[in-house]
Amino acid sequence: MIYELRQYTLRPGRRDTLIELFEREFVETQEAAGMRVAGTFRNPDAPDTFPWLRAFPDMPARKAALEAFYGGPVWQANRDAANATMIDSDDVLLLRALAEPPAWERPPVGAAELPPSMYVATICHVEDGFAGFFDSEVAPVLAEAGVPVVARFETEHAENTFPRLPVRTGETVFVWFARFDTPEDERVVDLPMLKTRLTAAPQRLRLRPTARSAMR
């Protein structure tokens, strides 16, 4: 599966406005166009951002799905309201799944109860071949510390065939997600074996699922 990890920078105080619009208008309509809205989140450390994750079967399906959705009536009717909340929507990592994230049954439109869980996504800039090292040297340490890895991704270097939506290029990343039942369960694990394997400092995103997120 192909994934996009999208991080929108929003105008101050507009995050909940966008999430309410997104969960009402853009979840089922994107999925009807051929993609899957895998996870939608609030980052408690960055209140004017909206991180979310969507998936496609492959690159040709991605192109067709994006053309269908962004050329369709729901986006056309709501794009001005959505875009009015945003400063930037171009921070997008195009990824290939090595292990798919978990998914639960999505609550219906109008649901307001927030899941108690928290995900932590770690984004590492790496050289090619990092995935095998992670599986053999890093994942066991995390698991022993009570931080099981629930999803893993690496950069998809295929051409972006829907250039209307830019993606980050010229970098190779490895991304893993850990899930905690509550924020109080979060653990930060020292991973000294990473120091010689990374080409930049890792980015750590603390992610609280929104009311209708499929990752809960």
User: Domain boundaries in the chain?
Assistant: 2-99+111-209
* CA angle in degrees (0–180, nearest 5) for 208-119-59: 100
Residues 202-214 pLDDT 10s? 999 999 999 999 9
pLDDT band at 128 (very low <50, low <70, confident <90, very high): confident
Residue pLDDT, tens place only, 17-43: 999 999 999 999 999 999 999 999 999
Percentage of the residues of the chain whose pLDDT score is greater than 70 = 100
pLDDT mean over 40-62: 98
Cα distance between residue 157 and residue 160, in whole Å: 9
- Please compute the mean of the pLDDT values over residues 139-159 and round it to a whole number: 96
Q: Could you give the 3-state DSSP secondary structure of residue 57?
A: coil
Q: Quick check: helix, strand or coil at residue 48?
A: coil
Contacts of 176 (CB under 8 A, 6+ apart): 121, 122, 134, 149, 151, 152, 153
CATH of 2-99+111-209, one of 3.40.50.620, 3.20.20.70, 3.10.28.10, 3.30.70.100: 3.30.70.100
User: What's the pTM value of the predicted model, to 2 decimals?
Assistant: 0.96
Alpha-carbon distance of 2 to 149, in angstroms, equals 19
**pLDDT tens digits for 163-194?**
999 999 999 999 999 999 999 999 999 999 99
Q: Is the pLDDT of residue 61 over 90?
A: yes
Contact 18, 10 (CB under 8 A): yes
Confidence band, pLDDT 50/70/90 cuts, at residue 150:
very high
